[in-house]
Structure 1
Amino acid sequence: MSLNKQKYRAFKTLLRQLQADISSNLTNAAELRQRLASLQSFFRADIVPLTTQYPTEQSYQTEMSKQLRLLQIDIMFFQGARQASTIKERIDALTERLTTLIGYCDAILKMDKVADDE
């Protein structure tokens, strides 16, 4: 397994863990900010420096960076939510954003798989 695959799989695992915790209401805004800081740190340290084998991989990395920044804004909105309906909307937005990030990881891992099969 290539180093790139290992890094993307590890990142995807972190994203899934956060998504599961959010879906189970196991997190508060302070914890979400902490977890996001860890995700961003991992992304900058372990994903960004990877050499990309495919032109579209760089595009996915750029989109992932953007989605992480938007996730930060979603967490701020979640923190400000007071009504149950608004809190649910914010949780749904966080979950959707994480699903998008997981999808980008899957797309990159599929690119690697296609290359491995060739």
Structure 2
Amino acid sequence: MLPEVHCQKYRQFQQVVEELLALASETEGDSKTLKVKVLEMQQLFQEQILGLGIDDLDPSVASCVQSYQTEMHKQQRLLGNEVLFLQTCQQPQTRARRLAQIRERLEALSRYLVVVLGEASQEDARRSPPGH
């Protein structure tokens, strides 16, 4: 079970990811804005999510959370690379392909967050008596 403070931080991070996904979907590749927002998202992840600590969690939950944190970190690094490549794109087709890849990475991050937050909810449900 994730403590409420963890859930709040993950929800906050999830909101940033969703805002960035909307930005990547609405714009035609404003790479400067995307770069700034991705850097802000990465900083938030480093400070807020990785700073939470998982030592106090149930070992099975901690293992799951750590696995998802690793995958989220990887997606963010790849996302940063995609944004850098977007900045150098000259051809509209290449820009469109890069933007699609950026959206895919953000959607993956969003799915990971849903799972982590869902695990917290499922764990809460398992611990509470039926009918409550």
Q: Give the alignment's TM-score, normalised by structure 2.
A: 0.84
For 1:35, the equivalent position in structure 2 comes to 37
For 1:22, the equivalent position in structure 2 comes to 24
Count of aligned residue pairs for this structure pair: 118
Unpaired segments ≥5 residues, structure 2: 127-132
- Residue aligned with 1:51, SS: coil
Q: Cα offset for 1:30? A: 1.4
Does residue 96 of the first structure (1) align with residue 98 of the second (2)? no
Q: Give the alignment's TM-score, normalised by structure 1.
A: 0.94
For 1:106, the equivalent position in structure 2 comes to 114
Equivalent position amino acid for 1:66 in 2 = K
Query: Radius of gyration: which is bigger?
Result: 2
Equivalent position amino acid for 2:80 in 1 = Q
Unpaired segments ≥5 residues, structure 1: none
Equivalent position amino acid for 2:53 in 1 = T
Among all aligned residue pairs of Structure 1 and Structure 2, give the percentage whose two residues are the same amino acid: 31
Runs of 4+ in 1 over 3 A off after TM superposition: none
For 2:4, the equivalent position in structure 1 comes to 2
Superposed CA RMSD in Å reads 1.4
Equivalent position amino acid for 2:38 in 1 = L
